[in-house]
Chain A
């Protein structure tokens, strides 16, 4: 049995009002932010800093560099035009054909980020595919995702920015 009743006008109004954010809760205010250029630089720097903590000879292979992810969704009715930066890398070990016999990636990074005062957003180190996500006070995220391939591990490092205006100032709405 499918739902084909025509919704009443009242319900539709209520529906659109809630998704317009008019529920009394604070919404994303239309504030200036860093520019895209700055956000890209900061993401690059966070990646560099993280790499420096890893065993000597570790290199990064880029999976993607997304500099203009859409922060808004057509229905979120928040201010339109915000973007975010997100870069992902595969963490390549110096030996072993680039893969990891054991987790030598998450421990040094977790320790380093703790020292830097980053908050832990998600600690799934105990999972078979371990994950560890931190957030810095400015809203930048970093995630290490490990994959258990049976006889070895792979790791990816993903760093992202918060939602920003491309030019730093809110787009005209």
Chain B
């Protein structure tokens, strides 16, 4: 049975789309149950200490735990594939419907079964020529539908369990390319592995695989979902520990026994204050990270928005996260959004919200193409404005961003490259500037929004780009404009004429609240949102 025009017009992707989250939840539940079984296996020797029978029981439990664990990757792969099929077939169906309309205007009718004919009274040479094109497009649409259908059916088949489970083949972790390896080389390495080997790596080495530029987005996503789960457990456990310690100290103090807590201290009360202060800071930090993890969890589970792919997660230092709305490997346009000063894992919810909106803006601005938007906090952002005065953060961040963008090119599906735009807000633009200084930043356009300067004085100095690829905007009342002696800290304002960027409009903002204007670029109705969408979708002739 092959895919017919009728089948494409009649298809209802709803049931497939609704099945995807069922697999997601199944995978997550099995993961949790694996952890529970692991806990029991660990406890067993404590209650049944010796003998071969006891050891055999532990091995057996651990084996079944591994089976539960090993279910995660294939089950999530199935969920992803179902979502991808629903989106892809839905898009192709849209193309088919558009073709019927377009044909009608050219006096050509496409029947329900796909047969194409010229309308009576219009059987002439011009119409015949149009008909040839229409036939060609119809066939192309059907071929793409059939190819997508077959490919994803194949993925499902490769991830179907049998009585023995789904096999995973051992890979020596030392053979994993180091972080920072050329993404094209990483992609070649990944392609050389069997599906079983890839499953194994995602499962057992998720922290490395999750951050490796050159590994396809779908695989990074599954690895990072495991990392997320792990980070959640660890952060909560640490938080409990911190709270318990605080409770213990206070309780001892209340009992007049604080000297027992600090037996060597000259002044136990001072020691106590110092430790409580430190614990308070730690608690706030861990609570912030928990907030961030929860926000990411929530977005991954949100079935009302395009499927999200987690391309990076770390809870070290201030935390890092890379969250893609839509799969960048499959999209026609990819927007990378780099946030500015103060960005960290605890605030990721607000940035994911902006990324959702920018994805929708672009997908609305051009319905004939798909856009994925990626929130990239893959660098250690400065905590504060004064700290942002140092360029060290941007230099390191620029390198990491370059690697990420090159990775996007390496893993993009098909022969046609996507249109990649990188947008930096505030200090994020400075990071992009650094990324564009010495090498190809592998972007087709960069956008500086509310920039304090990008550490060069002219677009010409961004040697990785043509000046024509550089866009900038700043609201009239953005407080960032008030940095005195602008060019001594981060170079000239990129919205100045002599910088050489294409400047587009943004609503002026509120003269009485310039600090708040710094974030108003994402407000509903701000013309900057539409303008950004035009840059992302390559409709720069429409910029205002």
Would you call A70 and B350 a contact (CB within 8 A)? yes
CB contacts (< 8 Å) of A156 on chain B: these are 364
CB contacts (< 8 Å) of A133 on chain B: these are 525
CB contacts (< 8 Å) of A129 on chain B: these are 365, 530, 542
Stretch in A22-30, A111-119, A164-172 with 4+ CB within 8 Å of B: A22-30
Would you call A68 and B353 a contact (CB within 8 A)? yes
Looking at the assembled complex, report how far the CB atom of A69 sits from the nearest CB atom of chain B, in whole angstroms: 5
Would you call B347 and A74 a contact (CB within 8 A)? yes
Looking at the assembled complex, report how far the CB atom of A130 sits from the nearest CB atom of chain B, in whole angstroms: 11
The interface bits of chain A over 133-155 (1 if a CB of B lies within 8 angstroms of the residue's CB, else 0) are 10000000111010101010010
Q: A75-B385, A76-B479, A76-B516 are in contact. Are A63 and B364 (CB under 8 A)?
A: yes
Q: Is A12 an interface residue (CB 8 A)?
A: yes
Contact of A28 among B360, B457, B482, B516 (CB under 8 A): B516
Contact of A141 among B340, B513, B524 (CB under 8 A): B524
Looking at the assembled complex, report how far the CB atom of A124 sits from the nearest CB atom of chain B, in whole angstroms: 7
Q: Is A97 an interface residue (CB 8 A)?
A: yes
Would you call B385 and A5 a contact (CB within 8 A)? no
Would you call B437 and A163 a contact (CB within 8 A)? no
Q: Is B386 an interface residue (CB 8 A)?
A: yes
Would you call B350 and A147 a contact (CB within 8 A)? no
Q: Is B384 an interface residue (CB 8 A)?
A: yes
CB contacts (< 8 Å) of B489 on chain A: these are 3, 7, 11, 15
A158: nearest chain-B partner, CB-CB: B524
The interface bits of chain B over 511-523 (1 if a CB of A lies within 8 angstroms of the residue's CB, else 0) are 1111111110011
- Distance in angstroms between the alpha carbons of A141 and B524 in the assembled complex: 7
The interface bits of chain B over 378-390 (1 if a CB of A lies within 8 angstroms of the residue's CB, else 0) are 0000001110111
Q: Is B485 an interface residue (CB 8 A)?
A: yes
Q: Is B119 an interface residue (CB 8 A)?
A: no
Q: List B442-483 residues whose CB lies under 8 Å from chain A.
A: 453, 455-457, 461, 479-480, 482-483
Contact of A69 among B390, B391, B461, B522 (CB under 8 A): B522
A-B contact count (CB 8 A): 187
Stretch in B47-55, B65-73, B97-105, B179-187 with 4+ CB within 8 Å of A: B97-105
Q: Is B287 an interface residue (CB 8 A)?
A: no
CB contacts (< 8 Å) of A64 on chain B: these are 304-305, 356-357, 360
A155: nearest chain-B partner, CB-CB: B364
CB contacts (< 8 Å) of B350 on chain A: these are 68-70
Would you call A65 and B364 a contact (CB within 8 A)? no
CB contacts (< 8 Å) of B485 on chain A: these are 11
CB contacts (< 8 Å) of B542 on chain A: these are 127-129
Would you call A65 and B97 a contact (CB within 8 A)? no
A135: nearest chain-B partner, CB-CB: B525
Number of chain A residues close to chain B: CB under 8 A: 64
- Distance in angstroms between the alpha carbons of A18 and B389 in the assembled complex: 14
CB contacts (< 8 Å) of B386 on chain A: these are 12-13, 15-16
Contact of B525 among A27, A68, A121 (CB under 8 A): A121
CB contacts (< 8 Å) of A160 on chain B: these are 523-525
Q: A21-B515, A68-B349, A151-B105 are in contact. Are A141 and B525 (CB under 8 A)?
A: yes
Would you call A19 and B479 a contact (CB within 8 A)? yes
Q: Is B491 an interface residue (CB 8 A)?
A: yes
Chain A: interface secondary structure?
Answer: mixed
Would you call B516 and A71 a contact (CB within 8 A)? yes
Q: Is B426 an interface residue (CB 8 A)?
A: yes
Q: Is B544 an interface residue (CB 8 A)?
A: yes
Would you call B511 and A25 a contact (CB within 8 A)? yes
Looking at the assembled complex, report how far the CB atom of B425 sits from the nearest CB atom of chain A, in whole angstroms: 8
Q: Is A122 an interface residue (CB 8 A)?
A: yes
Would you call A154 and B342 a contact (CB within 8 A)? no
Q: Is B490 an interface residue (CB 8 A)?
A: yes
Q: A2-B437, A3-B391, A145-B364 are in contact. Are A28 and B524 (CB under 8 A)?
A: no
Q: Is A14 an interface residue (CB 8 A)?
A: yes
Would you call A21 and B514 a contact (CB within 8 A)? yes
Q: Is B527 an interface residue (CB 8 A)?
A: yes
Contact of A124 among B425, B487, B544 (CB under 8 A): B544
CB contacts (< 8 Å) of A70 on chain B: these are 347, 349-351, 353-354, 519
- Distance in angstroms between the alpha carbons of A168 and B50 in the assembled complex: 62
Looking at the assembled complex, report how far the CB atom of B345 sits from the nearest CB atom of chain A, in whole angstroms: 12
Would you call A74 and B357 a contact (CB within 8 A)? no
The interface bits of chain A over 1-45 (1 if a CB of B lies within 8 angstroms of the residue's CB, else 0) are 111111100011111101111010111100000000000000000
Q: A3-B455, A158-B524 are in contact. Are A72 and B519 (CB under 8 A)?
A: yes
Q: Is B343 an interface residue (CB 8 A)?
A: yes
Q: List B489-517 residues whose CB lies under 8 Å from chain A.
A: 489-491, 507, 511-517
Contact of B512 among A13, A25, A68, A163 (CB under 8 A): A25
- Distance in angstroms between the alpha carbons of A151 and B367 in the assembled complex: 13
Q: Is A104 an interface residue (CB 8 A)?
A: no
Would you call A66 and B353 a contact (CB within 8 A)? yes
Would you call A158 and B525 a contact (CB within 8 A)? yes
CB contacts (< 8 Å) of B453 on chain A: these are 3
Looking at the assembled complex, report how far the CB atom of B318 sits from the nearest CB atom of chain A, in whole angstroms: 11
Q: Is B488 an interface residue (CB 8 A)?
A: yes
The interface bits of chain A over 33-67 (1 if a CB of B lies within 8 angstroms of the residue's CB, else 0) are 00000000000000000000000000000111110
User: Which 4 pairs show the lowest CB-CB distances between chains A and B?
Assistant: A74-B342, A70-B350, A73-B519, A160-B524
Q: A63-B364, A75-B480 are in contact. List 20 more A-B contacts (CB 8 A).
A: A2-B437, A11-B484, A11-B489, A19-B515, A20-B515, A21-B515, A64-B305, A68-B349, A70-B351, A73-B516, A75-B341, A75-B388, A75-B426, A76-B519, A127-B542, A141-B525, A151-B101, A151-B105, A154-B364, A160-B525
Give 18 CB contacts A-B under 8 Å.
A3-B453, A11-B389, A11-B489, A14-B484, A15-B385, A16-B386, A19-B482, A25-B514, A27-B515, A64-B305, A64-B357, A68-B353, A72-B519, A74-B342, A75-B340, A75-B385, A145-B364, A159-B524
